[in-house]
Structure 1
C-alpha cells in the first residue's frame, strides 16, 4: 500500500490497518473520474476514534456499549463481585397497563444481565471498542490466567454474541444470568416518585432449561411476556455465549423466537461478516474530519452510538436509548429529547435511521386519541411522555401528562410537542424531498397539529390573534402568548402554505393560515430579551431553550436580519447567564445558536464546556438516569458549524473555529436533497462539490474569494450566475454534480482525513 497516498494521519497509524483484518480496510479510491471520492484507509482512520479501557469500568457511564436499535448491552464490573456484568436490554420491552400512565404502566422494563465470573481475581483489563467493526475486543487478566474476549450485538439479528478464549487456568469460568424485577425503574425509592395507587411489580421471571439452551420467561400482569434465551457453545479453545430477547403482547409467543435466534447462530467469525459489512457501509455514507482529535473522535463515536440505538423500524429512542439502566425516565420524552436525538441523521446522511417519521405515521390514531374529546375530529397532539406506540395511557400528576388544553388552570403541559416533532419530519423531507413522506405523513399531521392551536386563538383588544396561557417546557408557569407556542404556530402555518403549494392543493384552511401569519401577536420582549410569554419574563436559570426556538432550530428570526441581531445576541447571553439549572444540552443549544450567529469560536467554546463538565468517559450523559439526547445533539452543533442549508442557501463552513484551519467533508446531506463535499486548507475553502438528488434550485455560499470556476465532474463548464448578495446559483438537474473552486486553481479533489491536532487522549478509561 502506498501509505503516503492513502492517509495523511502520520506514521503512528501505520500499524492500525491490522485492526481491519477480515473487514476490508481498502477505501474507494478517488480518481479523475470520481472527484470528491474517498482516498484513505477507513479502518486506520476510525481506529483513532476507538474507545479504550486499561482500567475496569465500574458503571454504565464508563463502560463499552453495543446495540442494534432493539437489543442493547452495556458492560462494566458487577458491583461488589469478582465478575463482569453484561447487560441485556431491549427497546421494545415495556409494560402494558395504561391505567397507570406512561411512566409506570407503560414504562420500559429492565430485563437482566449476565455475569462473566472468572476463576481468579480480576487484576486488569485491556479492552477496545472497535468502531469500524462495531465489536468489543480485549482481555481480562486474572490471578489464574486470562480471558480473551470478543463481543457484538449483531446488526441484523436479535443476538448478543460473546466469544471467550480462556487460558488454561481460566477454563472453569462461569456464565450466570440474573433476571431483573419487571417493574418501572421510576418506582425505585431513590427517585422519590410515588407509583400510582394499586401499581405493583410483575411476577418474577421463570428460569428453565430448554434442551441445549436456557430461558428466562417474564410473564406480565397485563398479558404478554418477554423471554431471554441463551446458549453456551464450546468450539475448540473458545466458548461463545449467544443470547437473544423476544417480546410479545398480548399473546405469549416469545420463547420460540428467542430460542430460534440462539440455536441458529453461526460461529462467531461467520456472524461478524454480515455485521461488519453493514457497519462499514454505515460509516461510508458520509465523512467529516477536523483537526481537533478528541472532538473528531467524539463525532464518530456518536455515529456509532446512533446506529446502535436507532433503526427506522425500531421504537423512537427512549431517553436512555436501548441501554435501560436505573432511571426515573423509562419512556420517550417529546418536549425536547426526541427532537434533539435525531437532528444529526440529516447532515450525516443517515435518513435510514429515521424512526420518528415512521412512528408518527404508523401511530397517528394515538395522536388524536389523546386529546380531549371535543378536539379529536380535526386535531392531533402528543403528550410529554409516551410508550413505543406514542400512547401516554391514563395520566395523572405522578405518571405523566396528556396533551394540555390552553387556558386550563392549574398550568397545563405543553401543547406544541407534536408540531416540534413534525419539524423533525419536515427536516427529513427537506433533506430528501421524499414526496411520499410529504404527502402521507408530514402535511396531514402538521395540518392537524396546527388545527389544535386554531381552536384557541382569539382576537384581543389590539386586533391581534392571541393564545390563552400555555406551558413553555419545564419553566414552571403558564404564560399567555407563550413564545414556545407562537414560534411553532408561525412556523407551522408558513410551512403548511409552502407544502400546499408543493402538493398543488387548494386547502380550505389556507386563508386561516395566512390570517394567523398576518395577525398573530408578536413575541413578548423585555429589554431586547425574549420572554417566556406575555407578562412572564425569563428570570431564572432554565436548561431548556424553548423560548428561543424562533431563532434555532426554526430560523424564523435570523442573524441575516440585521434588525434582529441585538435581540438574538442579548437573549442568548441572558439565557446562559443564569448558571444554576443549565445542563448539557443547554450548551449544545448555545453552540448551535452561536453557529447561527456565525461565531465559530463561541460555538466551539460551548462544546468545550460540554466535554469538560457533562460528558462521561464513554461519551454517555446523565441527568439522574441516562439521557441520550445531549451527546447526539452535540454532533448537530458541530454540523451547524460546518454547513447550514436553511432558507434555500447552502452555506459552507459558516461558523468554524479559528483553529479548524483544515477540514474535509464528503456527502454531507443538506436541505434540497444535495450531497456536499469540500476541503478547507490553511483556513481557506479550496473546493466544494455538490451533487443534486432531486434537481432542486441550488444556491451556494461557498466562501471562496475571487473569480470562480464551476464545472462538472469532467471539467466542463456549468451554467451559473452570481446573485446580488454574492451567492452562487448553479443550474443542476437531478443526478448532476458541480465542482466549485477558485479560477486558475488546480485542487486535488480527493477527500482525506486532515492532520490530527489537540489532545489525542482516547475516550474510555485509557
Structure 2
C-alpha cells in the first residue's frame, strides 16, 4: 500500500486530527478563562524562573567520568531529532537519529521492512587521549554542558537539540593543547538495527550508500532509500576565537518524496548565534515544565521522575511518530520498530497526569491511519472490523495479518483495543468530545466487531472465546487479556453512544456480551491466563492482570475483588527468572491500585536498584524506553488516582513519605488538582474544573471539611465529597476551621541520594574498580528472547541476562566491581587477552569470573613497570560449587542452551589473586591456550595497608 509523505511537522489542522489535537490542548487554552486569576489566589507558587531553576538543578544528572555506552550517557531530543552522548573509541560521540527515519518495505515485516534506520554520528575527536569528563545535563534548559579532559588539555562543550526546530547544536571551546580537535559528522549505513541478531531476509536489497556534497561551509549528506524517499543531513561548522568550533546540524526524512534535503538545508540555513537559538529553545522547555509540578521526599525517585518528564518531552510530540521501542535514540536492537502489546501504551501513560497531552500522538495517528488498521485483517473480516498487529511501524504498517483465534494459532487480537485505551484516557483527561466522536467510538466499534466474529455460546450458555494469545505467555481459550478488553470495550462503547446521543444498532449486542461473557478464569492462586491455563511460570508481562490494572474492572472498592487482585499479584511476582523492569513498575502500580503504598515503593525501589541504568535508561536485550516511563506513572498512581467516577488524593503513599506536593495534576473528568501533605497530614486539596464535569473527591482529609469556592457540596460519611463545579471554576478543600497556607513548593528531602549519572571512580582509595569495556571480547550472556548469539563454553550455552546484574555494578564481600551485562550481541567478559590496569602499587587483584568446561588451574602474567611475573589463577567452573576458596558473587538458577532454557545453577565467582605490593603494575594477561578457559567479567584492585 502507498505511504504518506512523512509525518506533517506543523500542519495539523485537518479533519478529525485537528479536533483531536485541539482537544488535547484544551486544558492549556482554557487557562485564559475569567476564573483563571481567581484560581491563582487560591493556590500559588513555583511561579518564577528562579524557583524552577533551583529545584530542577537538584534533579540534574551529572557525569564525573566518561560515559561508555548509550545507557550511561546524556541524551537530548525534541520528539524528532535524538542525540545520545558517549565514548566512541578515542572520540566523544553525539549520535544523530530521527524518529521518522525508517524503511518502507512492509512486505519484509517489522524487523526489516519498516524498521527504523540510523543516520549518523558527530565525532568530537580530541588531539590527545581522552582521560575523563565532568558533564551536567541541565534539565531546566535542556542543555548538556561540561568539560572533557585529555592528556593534552580540555574541551568545554555545550550541546542541545532545539525544542522546536530539527537542529542539533554542539559548541566546543578548547584549551591551548586541544586547539586542533576535530568536529565532524559521519553517516552510518541505513540498515535495520536488527542486524545485531540476524542477517537481512532473502531478497531484501540493501539501501544504497549515502552521497556527501560539500558546498563551501555547508555539507549535505543524502541517503537514498530503495523504497523511495530519503534521509538527508545538512550541517555547517563555524569557527570561533581561540580555536573553538560550533556545529549546526539538521536531519530530516521524507517518503516517498525527496523533500528531506530541502528541509534540512532550510533549517541549517536559518541558524543564527548559539545564544539566540538557546533563547527560543529554553522558552519552549520553561513553558513545558510549568504545566505541572510534584515533589516527593525521596531524592533518588524525585530525580528519576523529573528525568522521565525530560525524557518524555525529548522523545515525544503530538505531531511526532508514536515512539519506537528505543524512542528517537536508535541503537543496535532486536526490536527496531513499534510494539503495541505493551510498549506503546506504557510510553504515553505519564502524559495524562503530568498535564502534557501536547506530547500524545496516539489519537492523531489512529485518526489518520484507519485504512491500515482495516488492511491489517484478512480480507474476509475487513468489511466491518479493524485490527492491529503486535509490532509494526508508527503508522501500523507491517507484513501479514492479525491472527485468527484457534487452537493452532498465536492470535494476539487485543492490541488495538489495548491501544485505544490510551485514546480513552486522553478523552477522559480532556473531556474533548472530538476525541470520542472522531477517533475512539468509530475505531473501537470496529475493533469490537473483530471479537464478535469469534465469540460463541458454550454449553453453559455463556459467551466464550476460542484460543487467543496472551502477551507474551502463550495460547489460552477465554484468555484474560481478551476478556478484559472485551468487557472494557463494550462498557466504553455503550457510554460513548450515550454521550454522543447515538442510537447504535450494535448496542443490544454489546449489552448481551456484558451479560453473558464468561467470568475471568480463576484458580487457587488468583487470576489465570485463560481457561485451563494457570499462571505457572515466570513471566514479565502482567497481561493476565489487565482487568485489575490499568482497566480497573476489578478494583479495591469491592473487598472480594481486592483480595483476588492481591492474591494474583503476589503469585505473579513470586516467580523469579523472567521478571524484568516493567514487571516491577507494573507491580508498583498494581500495589498502588490496592492502596498499598509501602509495597508500591518497594517494587519501585526494586526496579531502580536492579534495572535502572545510570542515565535512567533501561534495556532488555536492547534499548527499550517504556519501562522507566511506566515507573513515572507508578509514582502518579501513588499520588493521585481518578478511575471510576472519583478522584483519590494520596491513595497509596508509603509511610516514609510524610511530605508531598502535587500541583496542576490532570485527572479524568478534566480536573486540575493540587494538594499538599505535611508531616503525614493533608493540608489542602485544590480542584479546578476544565470541563464542568461532576466532581467526586476523596481528599484524604479526615473529619469535617471546609469547601471554599463552592455553593453546593456534600460530604458523605466515608469522607467522599461531591461538589458542583462549573467549567473554569475551582474549589479549595481543607479541614474545617483551619484554612492553610496554599503555597506550592518543593518538600524537604528525607531520603537523600547522589544524583543520577556516573559518579567518579575513587582512584585514590583502597579499592579501585577497573573499566574493562575496551577489552571485552567474549559474549557469555543471552536474553530469554534470543538464545543464539552468545557462547560461554563452546557448546552454545550462556548465562541468563535477566538474572545477572543489570545496573553496571555489583558488590561482593565489600568489594565493588564494574559489571557489563549490556545489549544483545555485545561482549561482556574477557578471554585470553591483556587487561590494562591503572598505574599504582596494589596487593590484591580481585577477579569476578568463572571457567567454562571445568575448573581452571592456570596462571596470570602480571606486567610491572620493572618486569613481569607469573601468578596462579584458580577459577571454578561455572556449573560447579566453589572449589578454590572463592565466594559465589552471582548465581542464577537457569542456563540458556541453544535448544531452550534449562534449570541449572550457574555462578560467577569472586577470586583473590595476590600481587607484589612493592611494584607498580601495568597489566595482567589471561592465558590464551588454557583449557578450561577462565572468563573474567570484572576486576578490582586493592591497595596494601
Under a length normalisation based on structure 2, what TM-score does the superposition of the two structures give? 0.75
Q: What does 1:362-761 align with in structure 2 at a 5 Å threshold?
A: 362-392=368-398, 394-395=399-400, 402-407=401-406, 409-475=407-473, 477-712=474-709, 718-761=711-754
Q: Does 1:57 align with 2:67?
A: yes
Distance (Å, rounded) in 1 between the aligned partners of 2:356 and 2:293: 12
- Which deviates further from its counterpart, 208-217 or 428-437? 208-217
Question: Structure 1: which 4+ aligned runs deviate by more than 3 Å?
Answer: 28-32, 235-238
Deviations 1:350-375 (A, max 9, x none): 01111111111111110111101011
Alpha-carbon deviation of 1:32?
7.8
Distance change (3 Å), C-alpha of 1:568 and 1:721: same
Distance (Å, rounded) in 1 between the aligned partners of 2:192 and 2:43: 53
Q: What corresponds to 1:241 in structure 2?
A: 247
Alpha-carbon deviation of 1:29?
13
Deviations 1:688-736 (A, max 9, x none): 1000001100001011111111002xxxx63210235431001101111
Alpha-carbon deviation of 1:404?
1.0
Question: Is the 8 Å Cα contact of residues 384 and 413 (structure 1) preserved in structure 2?
Answer: no
Alpha-carbon deviation of 1:36?
4.0
Distance change (3 Å), C-alpha of 1:425 and 1:223: same
> Could you say what secondary structure the match of 1:456 adopts?
coil
Question: Hey, which of these two has a bigger chunk of helix by percent?
Answer: 1
Which residue of 301, 305, 308 corresponds with 2:307?
A: 301
Q: Does 1:38 align with 2:46?
A: yes
Q: What corresponds to 1:185 in structure 2?
A: 193
* RMSD between superposed Cα atoms in Å: 1.5
Alpha-carbon deviation of 1:633?
0.3
Question: Is the 8 Å Cα contact of residues 39 and 750 (structure 1) preserved in structure 2?
Answer: no
Which residue of 215, 227, 230 corresponds with 1:225?
A: 230
Q: Does 1:119 align with 2:124?
A: no
Structure 1 unaligned segments of length 5 or more: list them.
1-27, 396-401
Q: What corresponds to 1:311 in structure 2?
A: 317
Relative contact order, higher structure (CA 8 A, sep 6+): 1
Question: Is the 8 Å Cα contact of residues 226 and 254 (structure 1) preserved in structure 2?
Answer: yes
Which residue of 104, 107, 110 corresponds with 1:102?
A: 110
Alpha-carbon deviation of 1:671?
0.4
Distance (Å, rounded) in 2 between the aligned partners of 1:114 and 1:519: 60
Alpha-carbon deviation of 1:254?
2.2
Distance (Å, rounded) in 2 between the aligned partners of 1:730 and 1:524: 39
Distance (Å, rounded) in 1 between the aligned partners of 2:37 and 2:751: 28
Distance (Å, rounded) in 1 between the aligned partners of 2:509 and 2:609: 49
Q: What corresponds to 1:83 in structure 2?
A: 91
Distance (Å, rounded) in 2 between the aligned partners of 1:439 and 1:141: 58
Alpha-carbon deviation of 1:687?
0.4
Question: Hey, which of these two has a bigger chunk of strand by percent?
Answer: 2
Distance change (3 Å), C-alpha of 1:413 and 1:216: farther
Distance (Å, rounded) in 2 between the aligned partners of 1:296 and 1:687: 22
Which residue of 303, 313, 334 corresponds with 1:328?
A: 334
Question: Is the 8 Å Cα contact of residues 195 and 332 (structure 2) preserved in structure 1?
Answer: no
Alpha-carbon deviation of 1:390?
1.2
Deviations 1:423-444 (A, max 9, x none): 0000000000001111100111
Question: Is the 8 Å Cα contact of residues 30 and 751 (structure 1) preserved in structure 2?
Answer: no
> Could you say what secondary structure the match of 2:638 adopts?
helix
Distance (Å, rounded) in 2 between the aligned partners of 1:265 and 1:347: 36
> Could you say what secondary structure the match of 1:625 adopts?
coil
Question: Is the 8 Å Cα contact of residues 169 and 249 (structure 2) preserved in structure 1?
Answer: yes
Distance (Å, rounded) in 1 between the aligned partners of 2:366 and 2:47: 40
Distance (Å, rounded) in 2 between the aligned partners of 1:552 and 1:32: 35
Deviations 1:501-540 (A, max 9, x none): 1111110000000000000011111115111111111111
Structure 2 unaligned segments of length 5 or more: list them.
1-35, 760-945
Under a length normalisation based on structure 1, what TM-score does the superposition of the two structures give? 0.92
Question: Is the 8 Å Cα contact of residues 30 and 38 (structure 1) preserved in structure 2?
Answer: no
Distance change (3 Å), C-alpha of 1:30 and 1:72: farther
Distance (Å, rounded) in 1 between the aligned partners of 2:367 and 2:577: 39
Question: Is the 8 Å Cα contact of residues 206 and 216 (structure 1) preserved in structure 2?
Answer: yes
Question: Is the 8 Å Cα contact of residues 37 and 666 (structure 1) preserved in structure 2?
Answer: no
Alpha-carbon deviation of 1:283?
0.6
Question: Is the 8 Å Cα contact of residues 205 and 226 (structure 2) preserved in structure 1?
Answer: no
Q: What corresponds to 1:18 in structure 2?
A: none
Alpha-carbon deviation of 1:161?
0.4
Question: Is the 8 Å Cα contact of residues 64 and 758 (structure 2) preserved in structure 1?
Answer: yes
> Could you say what secondary structure the match of 2:513 adopts?
helix
Q: What corresponds to 1:24 in structure 2?
A: none
- Which deviates further from its counterpart, 669-678 or 141-150? 141-150
Q: Does 1:344 align with 2:344?
A: no
Distance (Å, rounded) in 1 between the aligned partners of 2:600 and 2:409: 35
Alpha-carbon deviation of 1:759?
2.8
- Bigger Rg, which one: 2
Which residue of 191, 194, 200 corresponds with 1:195?
A: 200
Distance (Å, rounded) in 2 between the aligned partners of 1:740 and 1:183: 57
Alpha-carbon deviation of 1:567?
1.3
Deviations 1:265-301 (A, max 9, x none): 1110000111101101111100000100110000000
Distance (Å, rounded) in 2 between the aligned partners of 1:32 and 1:282: 19
Q: What corresponds to 1:132 in structure 2?
A: 140
Question: Is the 8 Å Cα contact of residues 679 and 751 (structure 1) preserved in structure 2?
Answer: yes
Question: Is the 8 Å Cα contact of residues 31 and 750 (structure 1) preserved in structure 2?
Answer: no
Q: What corresponds to 1:22 in structure 2?
A: none
Distance (Å, rounded) in 2 between the aligned partners of 1:142 and 1:449: 59
Deviations 1:383-426 (A, max 9, x none): 1111122111x24xxxxxx311112x533241000001000000
Distance (Å, rounded) in 1 between the aligned partners of 2:729 and 2:260: 49
Distance (Å, rounded) in 2 between the aligned partners of 1:635 and 1:485: 26
> Could you say what secondary structure the match of 2:449 adopts?
helix
Q: What corresponds to 1:277 in structure 2?
A: 283
Distance (Å, rounded) in 2 between the aligned partners of 1:65 and 1:436: 35
Distance (Å, rounded) in 2 between the aligned partners of 1:435 and 1:488: 22
Distance (Å, rounded) in 2 between the aligned partners of 1:314 and 1:420: 21
Distance (Å, rounded) in 2 between the aligned partners of 1:325 and 1:200: 21
Question: Is the 8 Å Cα contact of residues 688 and 702 (structure 1) preserved in structure 2?
Answer: yes
Question: Is the 8 Å Cα contact of residues 36 and 677 (structure 1) preserved in structure 2?
Answer: no
Distance (Å, rounded) in 1 between the aligned partners of 2:221 and 2:184: 12
Distance change (3 Å), C-alpha of 1:30 and 1:48: farther
